[in-house]
Amino acid sequence: MAFKIIASQCTQCGACEFECPSGAIKFKGESYVVELQKCTECEGAFDTQQCASVCPVPKTCVPA
Ligand code: SF4
Ligand code: SF4
């Protein structure tokens, strides 16, 4: 399992990129995307998914 970013809702604030413990979030082309193979859902690092926690837009970082 992994999380993904709903590109149409993302404001491109960049907050999630720095909080991801797996380095799975990158700005690619025109939007922030999660590299699904790298996403660990923050397991072992945090109790909650950091991208979803810091994202100012509700339901933008969601299970893929
Ligand atoms: S769930 Fe965690 S590991 Fe996956 S993209 Fe979000 S912050 Fe990174
Ligand atoms: S924190 Fe949310 S709004 Fe900001 S870049 Fe990440 S997905 Fe987009």
Judge contact between 24 and 50, C-beta under 8 A: no
Q: What whole-number distance in Å separates Cα of residue 57 and Cα of residue 64?
A: 17
pTM tops 0.75, yes or no: yes
Predicted pLDDT of residue 4: 98
Confidence class of residue 21 from pLDDT cuts 50, 70 and 90? very high
Give the residue whose CA is nearest to atom 8 of ligand 2.
10
CA of 12 to the centre of ligand 1 (A): 16
Contact yes or no for 24/64 (Cβ under 8 A):
no
Pick the CATH number of 3-63 from 2.40.10.120, 3.30.70.20, 3.60.15.10, 1.10.150.530: 3.30.70.20
Question: Please, where are the H alpha helices in 1-64?
Answer: 15-19, 50-54
Helix (H, G, I), strand (E, B) or coil at 44: coil
- Which atom of ligand 2 lies nearest, measured to the CA of 13? 4
Our answer on whether the CB atom of 5 is closer than 6 Å to any ligand 1 atom is no
32 CB near ligand 1 (under 6 Å): no
